[in-house]
Structure 1
Amino acid sequence: MPHSVAVIGGGIGGLTAAHELVERGFDVTVYEAGDRFGGKARSMPVTEGPAAGEDPLHCEHGFRFFPAFYQHLPETMARIPFEPTGGTVADNLVSTSETLVAAVDGPEQVADLSPPKTPGQWIQSLQPAFADELPPEDVTFLTERLLYVLTSCEQRRAEELDEQSWWEFVDAEERSPAFRRRIATITQALVALRPRRASARTMGTIYLQLLLGQLDPTEPTEHILNGPTSTVWIDPWIESLAEQGVDFRTGAAASDLRLGQRGRRIDAAIVDREPIDADDYVLAVPAEVAPNVLSDRAQRADPQLARIGRLDTAWMNGIQFYLSEDLPLVAGHQVYTDSAWALTAISQRQFWNDEVFDVGARGDPAVEGVLSVIISDWSTPGSRVDKPARECTPEEIKTEVLAQLGDHLNREGERLSEDLIHDWVLDPELEPAEVGVENNAPLLINTAGSLKNRPDAATGIENLTLAADYVRTNSDLASMESANEAGRRAANDVLERSDIRAAPTTVYELTEPGVFDPLKLHDRMRYRLGRPHQGDAIRRLLPSGPTGRPAD
């Protein structure tokens, strides 16, 4: 009999595990509680309004973003056929070249994403796009802090930096008001997380990865998709896996993983109130769902499972505006630095392949452009509506988002007007509630001290493994990349204890400049001896000299 695996959850982690396992000869079934696969990454046909119709436009939880440090996800995508072109879905990744950094109180900037060519430009690249708005000492200090991360050993990052908030690590209370505003912008645009709660380890590492992504002249700094996510990636993935033998079940919610009498193995998964038998089980549901599926007995059998419930989530959901006129704005993403709701956006049609997904031929032909916006702060009152987004009706959310965008874009002439909005759709995972909206798909956030609560893919239960973005990964940040890496780790765990002989799937390390390896090695010795980081060494790397910070 083939070795059977039940994958509980059809997001990126679950689909990745299924992909790696079926390629190695396992009999795989994927159970998804919803009606579509892909988790928060999926796009969905619009069901109401002008954007709907016989061949509807798509809406989404939020736009997809593939920075240069992603390694696992592009490799997986390169193994998924895309029949319309005869290539793979990786061919549907297209590069951006700019980022719009818009402000209400300061100058609008367009950041060039091309790599630096000189050592001076390299040091400059460590400085944020908003450096011109800050006092020089703040810019120097932030650069020093980033170099502190870059020269710290892994153990110091995990045990010292993860216990610190990003706010504390960058000494925000002692910096300028502009510095504090921009630091908040960075964290909320990346992870929907206030800097006072964000892990310094995660924020420092990922911020560096984003900056270092600009240094490789052979690769674009970031990619996006050339069409709606499900059309150009998820649906072809499902079709390919089904052709290889994966069985897919939708509307199949798991309620329990039933431990056997000895408490060492899962005897069955309860899906739609019916027992499902398999040799192995891969749990790939979100962090807020996992504790409801893992019984008290299972959590006692492996204490790391009990700690999943301590992880935090936040809201980071999107709204799409379908425009009567295309509005490219910039050849990349847009960051609205003074928006109360921490808005980021992208004008998508300029990047989409009309042969694959022609906006003009779908839904209402009056639609010419798509502006996809993500709201990362749902707790701060708006500038027009004096209440947070989570307490607003969908109509109020739409009105407030347009107002905040207009405050940034229309300072020197109207670029975005109400007249351009032909239709709009709020993330379908947001449902009207008694007060405002409720969120069925919150985002895992990397808070200070959260690393110790994140489990490994392998568990203390013999035939249970985990494949979701809360698993400990090299990628770290809760993201599609981390979920993909977790799915690979889960597949390797299942493979290791099976009788199937096949090569494990590749798990990549984050890459950082090798020039800093000697300093990391030196720091590892210092950390083992209980000594602090040698801050003076990194200050000497800065052309402007010391920052006035006390010596460690």
Structure 2
Amino acid sequence: MVDTDVAVIGGGIGGLTAAHELAERGFDVTVLEATDEFGGKARSMPATPETESPPLHGEHGFRFFPAFYRHVIDTMERIPDGDGTVADNLVETDATLIASVDGPGQRAETRTPDSLRGWLEALRPAFAEDLPPEDVRFLLERLLYLLTSCDRRREEELDDVSWWSFIDAENRSPECRDRLAYATQALVALRPQLGSARTIGTIYLQLLFGQLDPTRPTEQVLNAPTSVAWIEPWLDYLERLGVDLRANTPARRLEFDGQQVTGVVLADETRVTADEYVLAVPVEVAPTFVTPELARVAPELGRIGRLETAWMNGIQFYLSEDVELTRGHQVYTDSPWALTSISQRQFWTDDEYDVGRRGPDAVEGVLSVIASDWETSGIVYRKPARECTRAEIATEIWTQLKAHLNVTGTTLSDDLLVDWFLDPAIVETDDGVENRSPLLINTVGSLRNRPPADVGVQNLTLASDYVRTNADLASMESANEAGRRAANAVLERHARRFYTPAEIWDLREPAAFEPFKQQDRIRYRLGLPHPAEVTQSVRTLTRRLGGRV
């Protein structure tokens, strides 16, 4: 039996963050991780045998850090790495390629502009010239609707409206639907018909504000695979703080006496006891820990099982040449499987991670791709990814990439392909594949089913990306914020007077809109609609009646 101040169940970003915050404040922390690797979905893993040479790495999906990620960046700045910190391993991107099978594609600058012309060029993809003017005006009105809505309207009204309905996608141009509706699927693996206007709209605005903030990089990536650049130094630091990191230690259940948790029972039936327990397991695993007794005391725990997941998984293609593409993301707007990618070697410094010295001698480039739509039929086998074998998935994604990139001036030929590594969470079955690491999605009305970090049980807190956070999106940022909130709940109960709480940041929105939000708070309390809701209703009705209103 292990006795500790705090037992953290789950070694992903949320669990490691809670451990970090508490260990820095002197708590004795034990982290119980079911697998042989810490880092959850963010970790990277050997993709080639370690016995042959230093291995190449594969990932669940590439990592990127937009400007509104503040909690994760702060944590990185506090992890020593060599003569600096892990945050020094972040590299700013320059541009995103928006690729299409019908033309050369568009280049969207992501580096912070330093001139008026630069700002106009940076914002052009958000309000692209290929969209009809009436669609651009309508989008601006919708974004202003969000920006001038009070918090309660967003949480209680806009969370119950889909992004598809909110942007009136049925009555927009096909170009607008492709750009603004389906583009969200590549970002959050969430079909616009299902995702809430509150979440998708908020994140869309945050990405836009990131381009307007000259004090922060619009978007950053790591200079090596995630575990090399971040997770491994983090684990080293946590161990120096005294954290007991226990891999291959799956927990099976929580013991609960009706008021508090009294222990964690492991798979081998041994027990871990603690003063405090932090449940930091994924959303699909959490309900297995919620007994009827726990759900009666904390009803929020019982609603976790109502949350929905989707598939958003990655594959790495190892190439005989370093095909750089843009120095940033590539978004394949009309790809059936909603693909995005990053050509990674250009960001990986040889002193941190020399691709040429790893794996097969022929490998010189790494193209990391994420597929976000596993329900739509592909172009090779004419079936969705769920129904394909792993090899068919690799062939299908490679073919969709070629169909887009080979019209942009980049030649992606079969003789470049040395090997591929598909996320091992995708496991073959008799009917295709299953996903053992799905992603939480913010569906319409799901906010009411997401618990706070402090659920009202005397000594139990939650630290995972399904916890209610300001970031409000299944991501490293949300998991990190949840871990901080869990740590603060522990501090509140045990040591409030002696320790500064972990910092929590609100999402930044322009102060100029605050007076309008205050007015909307009054309107909402009075049961009145937002002024833009009336405008939308009149415009939509006019269009549907052919202008006869």
Same fold per TM (> 0.5)? yes
2:461 counterpart of 1:462 = no
2:302 to 289, 292, 306: 306
Shift of 1:550: 6.8
2:387 counterpart of 1:386 = no
* Residues 464-505 of structure 1 deviation map (CA, whole Å, 9 limit, x = unaligned): 000000000011111100000000000000111114721111
Q: Which residue of 2 aligns with 1:165?
A: 162
* Residues 373-428 of structure 1 deviation map (CA, whole Å, 9 limit, x = unaligned): 00000010001111101111111111111111111111265611111011110001
Q: Which residue of 2 aligns with 1:268?
A: 263
C-alpha contact 1:188 1:376 (8 A) present in aligned 2:
yes
Paired residues for 1:267-416 under 5 Å:
267-272=262-267, 273-411=269-407, 415-416=411-412
2:211 counterpart of 1:214 = yes
Paired residues for 1:31-110 under 5 Å:
31-47=32-48, 53-83=52-82, 86-110=83-107
Q: Match for 1:279: what amino acid?
A: D
Q: Secondary structure at the match of 2:274?
A: coil
Q: Secondary structure at the match of 2:182?
A: helix
Shift of 1:53: 2.9
Q: Secondary structure at the match of 2:228?
A: helix
Shift of 1:183: 3.0
* Residues 421-440 of structure 1 deviation map (CA, whole Å, 9 limit, x = unaligned): 11110001111111221111
* Bigger mean CA deviation after superposition, 294-303 or 454-463: 294-303
2:514 counterpart of 1:517 = yes
Q: Which residue of 2 aligns with 1:25?
A: 26
C-alpha contact 1:46 1:59 (8 A) present in aligned 2:
yes
Shift of 1:178: 2.1
* Residues 339-389 of structure 1 deviation map (CA, whole Å, 9 limit, x = unaligned): 000000000010111101100111112110100000000010001111101
Q: What's the C-alpha RMSD, in Å, of the aligned pairs?
A: 2.3
Shift of 1:37: 0.2
Q: Which runs of 5+ in 1 are unaligned?
A: 540-545
2:196 counterpart of 1:199 = yes
Shift of 1:91: 0.2
Q: Which residue of 2 aligns with 1:542?
A: none
Q: Match for 1:74: what amino acid?
A: I
Q: Match for 2:505: what amino acid?
A: Y
Distance in 2 separating the partners of 1:414 and 1:343: 17
Shift of 1:532: 1.0
C-alpha contact 2:325 2:343 (8 A) present in aligned 1:
yes
C-alpha contact 1:7 1:18 (8 A) present in aligned 2:
yes
C-alpha contact 2:109 2:122 (8 A) present in aligned 1:
no
Shift of 1:147: 1.3
Q: Secondary structure at the match of 1:162?
A: helix
Shift of 1:80: 0.3
TM-score of the superposed pair, with normalisation by structure 2: 0.94
Distance in 1 separating the partners of 2:408 and 2:524: 53
Q: Match for 2:129: what amino acid?
A: D
TM-score of the superposed pair, with normalisation by structure 1: 0.94
C-alpha contact 2:92 2:111 (8 A) present in aligned 1:
no
Shift of 1:54: 2.6
C-alpha contact 1:46 1:52 (8 A) present in aligned 2:
no
Q: Secondary structure at the match of 1:214?
A: helix
**How high is the sequence identity, in percent, across the aligned residues?**
62
C-alpha contact 2:105 2:408 (8 A) present in aligned 1:
no
C-alpha contact 1:213 1:221 (8 A) present in aligned 2:
yes
Distance in 2 separating the partners of 1:341 and 1:536: 33
C-alpha contact 1:43 1:61 (8 A) present in aligned 2:
yes
Q: Match for 2:219: what amino acid?
A: E
2:243 counterpart of 1:246 = yes
2:230 counterpart of 1:229 = no
C-alpha contact 1:56 1:362 (8 A) present in aligned 2:
yes
Distance in 2 separating the partners of 1:306 and 1:128: 42
* Bigger mean CA deviation after superposition, 374-383 or 263-272: 263-272
Change over 3 Å in CA distance of 1:477–1:372 after alignment to 2:
same
Distance in 1 separating the partners of 2:122 and 2:152: 26
Q: Which residue of 2 aligns with 1:543?
A: none
Q: Match for 2:163: what amino acid?
A: W
Q: Match for 2:297: what amino acid?
A: A
Size of the alignment, in residue pairs?
539
* Bigger mean CA deviation after superposition, 108-117 or 465-474: 108-117
Distance in 2 separating the partners of 1:145 and 1:374: 29
* Residues 223-259 of structure 1 deviation map (CA, whole Å, 9 limit, x = unaligned): 0000000001001100110011000111111111110
Q: Match for 1:14: what amino acid?
A: G
Q: Match for 1:171: what amino acid?
A: D
Q: Secondary structure at the match of 1:133?
A: coil
Distance in 1 separating the partners of 2:512 and 2:393: 48
Q: Which residue of 2 aligns with 1:175?
A: 172
Change over 3 Å in CA distance of 1:324–1:116 after alignment to 2:
closer
Q: Which runs of 5+ in 2 are unaligned?
A: 543-549
Q: Which residue of 2 aligns with 1:433?
A: 429
Distance in 1 separating the partners of 2:429 and 2:130: 41
Change over 3 Å in CA distance of 1:87–1:419 after alignment to 2:
same
Q: Secondary structure at the match of 1:497?
A: helix
Distance in 2 separating the partners of 1:186 and 1:309: 28
Distance in 2 separating the partners of 1:160 and 1:118: 39
Distance in 1 separating the partners of 2:162 and 2:154: 12
Shift of 1:117: 6.9
C-alpha contact 1:126 1:143 (8 A) present in aligned 2:
no
